[in-house]
Each structure stands twice: as structure tokens, then as C-alpha cells.
Structure 1
């Protein structure tokens, strides 16, 4: 991890049409049901780390108006393509398949996939203990595939629409395990400290990227410049501590190495 602004510009040679760069009003797509990352209150306001980072990016790209709209893991690409949102910050792990559909700025943070279980669970200590246990599979997420296909571990899978539904299943005993990025788990764990725990046994990297419309290279460059400044001026670690400092997970204050705009 090195804090070098030029990393975000590597490979950025083309210019996209209808770029988010320079827009006076930017719509940021965020999750509405992930406490600590993106959460929508009953009064319609959004809060969380990704909400704050999205606002910081939009402000530093010159937007005078920033609004937020709910996205899900299933519709992020569609809402970018049809211009419902301009950028997406929604625990959006950068993968080769996704990078063929959208252009990614960042990552703005590299999370680590971990495991959340019942507070009194003692038999599950690492990902290797998941064989035969019931694990929730959130729609549109790649976290399950990293365990089943990537590591060859075979839990029993229980589908759910989202990670908020997965956590509800964990709390009512329908599933034994929820596994995804530690920032996602930390927000839910903070709300249910007496009933669940995170193992703190990470086993993958989860580079969370800023999704832009496919080919928006100018926008990607602008996002990376904003992210570099966010880490250099201390905003990134302040926001990480604000939202996750009490969770007990290890937080990295260094700017991630960017994927490059292409």
C-alpha cells in the first residue's frame, strides 16, 4: 500500500462520453440496509462510511449538489447504465467480471472477508470450520463463491435477498454463519453486540471500488484524485474510526493501491 496519487492514473488514456467529472449535481448510489456503511433512516436520510466517502468524492469533483439513492447488489450495474445514479459506493468488491461491466475508481478501502456467528458459538473458529454448517447467501454477492468455489469449502447455503436479511436469519437461528467483508459485518455487529461476534479470522481481500459507467475514464481519474486527497488530509482514517473504531476490527489508514482506470 503506497500513498501515491499517480497510481490512480495508470492506464487512463481514453476519454468517456457523459462523464460524471465536472457535473454540478451527482447522484451517489449506496446501500440502505447496511449499518455503518450505508443506511437509510425512516426520515429518508442516509448515513454511513460510504455515504460520507461518496459526499467527499462528489464535493472534490466540483459538484454543488449531492444526493443519494438506494442500490442493491443485484441492480448496481443497471442503475449506472440507465443514469439513475452517477457513482456507486455499496460494498462493491472489484472483480474481473464486474470490471467488464463498469469502470471502477479506487478501491477506497480494502476490506477482508470474515465470519460472523452467534455470540455463544465455539465450534466455528475459521473458514475451515464451515463445512456442513448453514451459511447465508446474499443475492448478488461474491462472498459465498469465494468460500465455495475459491476455497472448496461446502457449507449448506440458505439464500436471502440481502445481508440485512442474512443477519436476521442469524439472529433467529435459521443460519449458523454470515460471511462477507469485515466492514459490512462490523456495522451489523455493532447493533447486536450481545448476540453476535466477528471471528476476526480474515481469509480474503475485498477491494471496495467506486462504480462508474463503463468507459468513464475522466470520472475514474477524478475519483482517484479525490480518494488520494481523502487519505492524505486525514479524512479517511477519521471516518473509519468514526464508523468502525469500536468494532474491534483492524483498520488500515494507508491509501490502497488503485486498480487503474481502463
Structure 2
């Protein structure tokens, strides 16, 4: 303590505070009086620790549960669950491709046609461009190669010099069937078009209502096509060709009486040559669902399905509708009521893809 807080004790003087009967001279002189000891400090009061209440326990448990939930979510987000788009691209090998090779038909007006100037046109071509764009390829980086029907499962096409070329996917009016998936190891995307089987004849042919009308007659169809079984069951003499253009040549030369395959294919010839051919609806119940063949590349199938799902679900994505209007709907007047294809994109199931918080994978 400082001097100002000290308690000063006065020096005793003779006679001060002494009884009257005691002589002052008898008292000893004390020139150095001592200070009394400081008072004992008061004990510091310690408050008791707060008691642990049930509310505090519950709050702590809630906080722990929240931390665990966040941790599990982060693990699932970055480790577990379905693959992300980035992971699918790595698995499919897309990021290693400088161009994308796509097998298509080249002799089908309205669906897929190779022009003399080197360009391509048709519904399948536009669908292929749509998928390639979502995979990150410019139109100039897409390579189309013509292929015959029997090569669609093999994923082998032919370049302009006649050399065999492997392709990454096939968009070639290829109908989805369990037999093809099991027997030929074909991996199809979800369907991108619904059509049906029909018949093409030369102009002024008598009305056709069923394939049974060609019993004992010559009918041409595509090799390995789903349209082969119906004329065979009807008793027709079926001629198989690898290209629809070969069937058309046989019909023009009257080597066959009719050509039968998918209506979306035959409608293009009727629209291109309206005075040469007639297109007939057979009223068959079977629906032909066209799909993209990706071989054994399961990750690529998921990416293709993702494009088809976006096109189907996103009202602002009208690429499918534009492709249909430009290539198939435009053929309706010339085909005079014969159904060509369903005018709406087939429903697509949402693919199993993980959407990262910073992405917008699904519409």
C-alpha cells in the first residue's frame, strides 16, 4: 500500500493517555514506536460453478448432430453417391477427344443425308449435333461417317476413301430392342424418337392397308432391321439390303413391289419425290424407338441421357422441337396423312448424376 493509505500512529507524549496516579517520569521513553500489523485481508468469495441442466445437454447434443450431418453430407458430396458430370467425362474419355466421330446413315432424306458439298442434314444429324454440343464439341469438331445397317452394332463406319473408321457413337435410325442389347452388346441411350413401320410403293399403286397384301410378292427391307420380321410373317419374299437407297433402286427398277421400314425414313423419299412414290400406313401396333448406340461406354450413355433429359424437361431448350419441325414436320403435307413420327420428344427418365452445389446440371 502507498504512504497515503497508511495508518499513522501518533508519538506518545508524557502524560498522554496515562492515569493520573502514574508519574510520567516513571515511563520508559520509546523513540522508535512500531506500527501494528496490517489487518487480515478479507477472504475472496468464489462463486459455485453453474449446474449442468437438461437444456444444456440437449443443446450440446443438437450441435453434435448438426456437425455430424454436415460431415456426412460433405463426404457424400465429394466422395460417395452417383458420379458427377466431371467424373463421367473422365470415365467416358471425352476430355481426351479433340474431335468426336459419329456414325450415321447418308442416304435417308429427312433423317440423315450426306450432301455433295460435304455437309450433312436431317433429324438424326441435328440430334447428333445437340449431343456433341453438350459434350463440349463445336460443329466443326464433329466428324460424321456413313455406315450400313449391319455395322451399327459394330460401331464401324466408312470414310470417303472407303476405309473402316471406328466411331464413338451411332445416331443412325437404330431401334432399341432387348435382343440387340443382349445379343450384340449394344448400349442404347434412352429413346429420342418414336416412329412406326410403313410401306413405300411406286406412285399410282393400289391402296395398301396391310403387309399381307404382299404375300408371295417381293418386298425390300434393311438387313438386321426390326422391320424384317413383319413382311416375313405376312408371307412376302423379303430382299435384304444394307442401305435403304439400294431398296429404292430396286423399287424403281421394279425388282421389288414395295419397300418397308420405319415411316420416318420412307417419308423422306415421299417428300423428296412426291410424284414417284406413295407412302402407306400399315396400322401396326409396334412402336419403333430410336436410340443412340454408345457401344460399351456406360459413362457416355449417361451423358447422352443427360442431354436428352435436359432437352425434354427444360422449356427453354427447343433444339429437339426445331430438329423435328425442320426435318420431319415439314414432310407431313407431302405424305398426305400417313403418320411419320410422334411429334413430341419421348419422355426421358432423370439420369443418376450428382449435381455439385456450384453446378446447374438439371433444369
Q: Is 2:190–2:305's contact at 8 Å kept on the other side of the alignment?
A: yes
Report the structure, 1 or 2, having the larger strand content: 1
Correspondent of 2:249 among 147, 155, 168? 168
Unpaired runs of 5+ residues, structure 1, are: 1-11
Secondary structure of the residue aligned to 1:157 is strand
Q: What is aligned with 1:3?
A: none
Secondary structure of the residue aligned to 1:193 is coil
1:21 Cα deviation (Å)? 4.6
Change beyond 3 A, Cα 1:126–1:245? same
Q: What is aligned with 2:12?
A: none
1:146 Cα deviation (Å)? 3.5
Q: What is aligned with 1:224?
A: 305
Q: Distance in 2 between matches of 1:259 and 1:166?
A: 36
Q: What is aligned with 1:109?
A: 193
Q: Distance in 2 between matches of 1:98 and 1:250?
A: 24
Correspondent of 1:19 among 92, 98, 102? 92
Question: Rg: which structure is higher?
Answer: 2
Change beyond 3 A, Cα 1:174–1:88? same
Q: Distance in 2 between matches of 1:160 and 1:80?
A: 17
Change beyond 3 A, Cα 1:105–1:61? same
1:72 aligns with 2:148: yes
**Greater RCO (CA < 8 Å, at least 6 residues apart):** 1
Correspondent of 1:127 among 196, 211, 222? 211
1:51 aligns with 2:125: yes
Q: Is 1:134–1:176's contact at 8 Å kept on the other side of the alignment?
A: yes
Q: Distance in 2 between matches of 1:105 and 1:45?
A: 26
Q: Distance in 1 between matches of 2:155 and 2:257?
A: 33
Correspondent of 1:28 among 65, 85, 102? 102
Q: What is aligned with 1:156?
A: 237
Task: Kindly provide the CA deviation profile for residues 208-254 of structure 1, in whole angstroms up to 9, marking residues without a partner as x.
Answer: 1100022x222111111111233442221221121122322354233
Secondary structure of the residue aligned to 1:105 is coil
Correspondent of 1:93 among 163, 168, 175? 175
**How many residues get paired?**
247
Q: Is 1:136–1:177's contact at 8 Å kept on the other side of the alignment?
A: yes
Q: TM-score, normalised by structure 1?
A: 0.83
Q: Is 2:201–2:257's contact at 8 Å kept on the other side of the alignment?
A: yes
Change beyond 3 A, Cα 1:209–1:20? farther
Q: Distance in 1 between matches of 2:282 and 2:311?
A: 28
Correspondent of 2:346 among 237, 256, 261? 256
Change beyond 3 A, Cα 1:131–1:29? same
Q: Is 1:240–1:251's contact at 8 Å kept on the other side of the alignment?
A: no
